[in-house]
């Protein structure tokens, strides 16, 4: 069976782009370590983006398009 796992983490980061880049680097390292310990991980990627508002998204309603 093929599955796709999603996780959303909303963060309040003091500072600017440099601090956000440090968060992204840390998440990349963490996910890489996790994925390397599992034989069945086919692909992973980490992306950090700016966030607007304080309402958390409903992960069940997110839609993804193949581009």
Per residue in 34-63, pLDDT tens? 999 999 999 999 999 888 889 998 988 888
**Cβ count within 10 A of residue 35:** 13
| pTM for the model | 0.75
How many whole angstroms separate alpha carbon 52 and alpha carbon 39? 36
Q: Give the H/E segment covering residue 32.
A: helix 17-36
Q: What percent of the chain has pLDDT over 70?
A: 100
- The pLDDT score that the predictor gives to residue 16 is 87
């Amino acid at each position: 069976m093929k599955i796709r796992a999603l996780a959303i983490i909303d963060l309040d980061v003091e500072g600017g782009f440099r601090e956000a880049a440090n968060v992204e680097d840390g998440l990349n390292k963490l996910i890489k370590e996790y994925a390397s310990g599992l034989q069945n991980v086919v692909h992973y990627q980490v992306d950090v983006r700016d966030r607007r508002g304080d309402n958390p998204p409903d992960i069940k309603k997110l839609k993804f398009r193949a581009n």
